[in-house]
Chains A and B, each alone.
Chain A
Amino acid sequence: MTSADGIVRKPMDLDRAGVPEGEVHIITERCKECGYCIEYCPEKVLVYSKEINSRGYHFPMIAEDKATSCVLCKFCDLICPELAIYTTDASDDETQS
């Protein structure tokens, strides 16, 4: 978070708020490879799979280096015409103090 003038800016509540981390779930059999989730994910988390589902479509999967990049904006879920993808809060799975 270094700006052009070299000043390091850090949000004051970074420690408290943090960036939400999402876990992506894909219902592969529903996907029709329209690409909306892949194209419009703001973090470019998703890529087309090499494998195909039973109807021949390449479904989305997490890009290799993006395992923890989902910010839980849910846009992939909202735009999907097939209800084939959704995200949950990854921190829900961990013990919170």
Chain B
Amino acid sequence: MSTPQPNDFSVVHPIDHLMRADRLPHILCAGCGIGTVIHAYVRAIDESGTDPDQHVCVSGIGCSGRAAGYVNVDSYHSTHGRALPFALGIAVHNPSLTVTVISGDGDLMAIGGNHFIHAARRNVNLNVICINNFNYGMTGGQVGPTTPIGAKGTTAPQGSIEHPFNLPYLAKACGASFVARWTILHVRQFTDAILRSMDKDGFCFTEVLSPCPTSFGRRNKLGEGLDEVEMYRERCHIENGAENLQDLDIDIVDHEQPITVGNFVDIERTAFHA
């Protein structure tokens, strides 16, 4: 290869046509995993062989909500917590479209929590990718509905005392047709999970554990993004089809505890169509 030079803009990434490349580099922090998820989403569109015009990306508010602004498909950056009802409207009105929601744990599971349970209950034909970094990153690291017990945030300096949601268990209990959990290190597997979701009728949910070094990692002694990903490499074990979803809570304090990832649910259930 030729030696890379600083300030060289002449090299074009082969997936740039599915990105709003003129907006890159994006605003997300160094080591933030959100960029990897956006990248995997556009790659899934590319690999699916479907027309990008058939895809719609909807996101909510927060750092993950930026996704809609960087992908070169029809996209909508909705208000806080309302990515799902907006996406539902699109999916129901025009069933030929493949609608993907990319948003964060705070947006989807706190203010958007009711929309989540009912969209899953109805089995609306949506692909939901929840980037879970365990906190409200954009606003400075407040604890949210997925913050593990004992993890620190600006609003829980001694560590959170609340029970968090276990997202795969929640999604399955609400009736989702497809449920998976991966981390950004499992990029091949969650790209496949996104592809499966695009293909499948009904509510498909993938949780992606993702480092937020700026707001969460720093406070919880997880180090840089690389250190957090390394923790996932050491602790994750893959259990596709795991039955015991109620036991899949994530412990961020005790690093001896395994973190279970995999494609857990893939069932046939009548999807909601108008």
Residues of A with Cβ closer than 8 Å to B?
Answer: 23-30, 32-36, 39-40, 49, 51-55, 57, 59-62, 67, 75, 78-84, 86
Contact = CB atoms under 8 A, between A and B. Distances in A.
A26 to B, nearest CB: 4
Contacts of B25: 29-30, 32, 55, 82, 84
Given A35-B225, A36-B225, 11 more contacts: A23-B1, A32-B25, A32-B29, A32-B31, A34-B31, A35-B226, A61-B3, A61-B4, A81-B31, A81-B33, A84-B25
B6 A28 contact: yes
B242 interface: no
B30 A28 contact: no
Main secondary structure of the interface of B (DSSP, over half): loop
Contacts of A84: 13, 25
Interface of B: 1, 3-9, 11-16, 19, 21, 24-26, 28-36, 38-40, 43, 184-185, 187-188, 191, 224-226, 229-230
A14 B9 CA distance: 39
A53 B11 CA distance: 14
B9 A83 contact: no
B1 A34 contact: no
Contacts of A29: 6-9, 25
A97 to B, nearest CB: 24
